[in-house]
């Protein structure tokens, strides 16, 4: 069983990457914080009895589910909004809301003054490339190479086969190579 100190230490080391993962997925700073908060609550509330060495994989599964829940709730919310607002203006489509525009501004593609230096520009391009990957490819790439899970753990976290993980990773790397090449970035 993980002690509160072990859980705290684990979350302290994982929270920034978890936040970034959520940002890459939902492209919204505030929603990403909500997702991380829910994931932290779930981990502490439901899995505090688990050994500390199981926390990284459990947290990744919880985080992934929290991101999926976010999109599911957004779809349900959109369904109800459309149902109760039949006369809604056609220009008021999802993606055009103030919230989504704010999210867009806070996405990795922003072009603020702090990102205009070449290093920051390169980081912004790479983060944008990650964010633009198909969801499964992004998940596989981040879990396998950023979180440094092995193929079996990545497959377990994603709920798919090891072969699928390898395929998603291969395609993600190929897509990233193409995007970075087009932007003139070399390792």
Q: Is 88 helix (H, G, I), strand (E, B) or coil?
A: coil
Task: Tell the smallest beta-carbon distance from residue 114 to other proteins (Å).
Answer: 9
Q: Which of 1, 2, 20, 56 binds other proteins (CB under 8 A)?
A: 20
Q: Which of 37, 54, 97, 161 binds other proteins (CB under 8 A)?
A: 37
Using alpha carbons, list the distances in angstroms from residue 151 to 107, 146, 162: 29, 13, 6
H/E stretch holding 82: helix 55-84
- Map the footprint of other proteins across residues 55-114, applying CB under 8 A: 69, 73, 76-77, 79-80, 108
Q: Which part of the chain contacts other proteins (CB under 8 A), choosing from 56-64, 89-97, 157-165, 177-185?
A: 177-185
Q: How many CB atoms lie within 10 A of CB 11?
A: 17
| Site track 111-150 with other proteins (rule: CB under 8 A), x = hit | -----------xx--xx-xx----------xx--xx----
Please state, in angstroms and rounded to a whole number, the distance separating the CA atoms of residues 116 and 89: 37
């Amino acid at each position: 069983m993980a002690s509160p100190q072990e859980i705290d230490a684990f979350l302290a080391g994982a929270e920034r990457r978890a936040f970034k993962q959520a940002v890459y997925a939902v492209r919204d700073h505030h929603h990403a914080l909500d997702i991380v908060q829910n994931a932290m609550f779930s981990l502490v509330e439901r899995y505090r009895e688990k050994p500390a060495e199981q926390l990284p994989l459990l947290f990744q599964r919880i985080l992934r589910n929290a991101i999926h829940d976010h999109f599911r709730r957004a779809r349900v919310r959109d369904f109800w909004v459309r149902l109760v607002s039949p006369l809604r203006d056609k220009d008021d489509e999802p993606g055009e809301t103030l919230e989504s525009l704010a999210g867009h501004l806070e996405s990795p593609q922003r072009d603020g003054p702090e990102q205009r230096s070449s290093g920051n520009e390169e980081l912004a391009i790479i983060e944008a490339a990650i964010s633009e990957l198909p969801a499964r490819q992004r998940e596989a790439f981040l879990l396998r190479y950023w979180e440094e899970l092995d193929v079996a753990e990545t497959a377990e976290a994603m709920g798919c086969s090891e072969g699928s993980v390898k395929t998603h990773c291969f395609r993600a790397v190929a897509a990233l190579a193409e995007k970075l090449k087009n932007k003139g970035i070399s390792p």
